[in-house]
């Protein structure tokens, strides 16, 4: 685990682990635009939260066939998760998206905006779009962390829970390039 104190009072924490076990106000789900579960992080969150999460997602209205367009976010309860809420966001598919960096940044910003609107203090992210959506983690990490640092005001903790040691190492390197060495490791 690595931790930085940010200028606006929040802490930035990077750790390897299971996002579904994060005891935070909200976990961010790297969802598809239908919000009905899938593989990777999305599937793990749906399995851990239980069937009520799928029902809550089904109740989110569709607009032009999508419950959540790329770069936007939606909120549901966390049900059986340690987190009180799930913020579902859709990141870009790297090879086919017209603006992968812009849409990845928007997914992070939208998630934090929604958390702020609901007065949530602690938010845990996965590596959005870095799984089946094919975003190279070494390119995604600086974008994700840059948005987190820029939007940190009003939060107590912004956490990235990463599933592998290799992914954690890439995010730590990107955070060190942005913020310098961590306060604690």
Active site residues: 42
* CA distance linking residue 117 with residue 163, whole number of Å: 28
Return d(Cα 20, Cα 30) in angstroms, integer. 12
Contact status, residue 124 vs residue 161, Cβ threshold 8 Å: yes
Q: How far is CA 71 from CA 12, 52, 76, 106, in A?
A: 22, 24, 17, 5
């Amino acid at each position: 685990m690595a931790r930085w104190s940010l200028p606006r009072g929040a802490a930035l924490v990077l750790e390897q682990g299971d996002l579904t076990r994060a005891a935070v106000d909200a976990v961010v789900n790297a969802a598809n635009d239908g919000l009905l579960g899938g593989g990777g992080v999305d599937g793990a969150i749906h399995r851990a939260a239980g069937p009520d999460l799928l029902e809550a997602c089904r109740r989110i209205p569709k607009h032009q066939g999508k419950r959540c367009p790329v770069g936007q976010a939606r909120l549901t309860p966390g049900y059986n998760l340690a987190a009180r809420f799930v913020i579902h966001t859709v990141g870009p598919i790297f090879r086919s998206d017209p603006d992968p960096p812009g849409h990845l940044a928007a997914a992070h910003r939208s998630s934090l905006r929604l958390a702020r609107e609901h007065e949530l203090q602690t938010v845990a992210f996965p590596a959005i779009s870095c799984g089946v959506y094919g975003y190279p983690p070494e390119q995604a990490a600086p974008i994700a962390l840059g948005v987190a640092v820029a939007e940190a005001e009003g939060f107590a903790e912004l956490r990235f829970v990463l599933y592998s040691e290799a992914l954690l190492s890439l995010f730590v390197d990107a955070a060190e390039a942005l913020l310098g060495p961590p306060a604690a490791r």
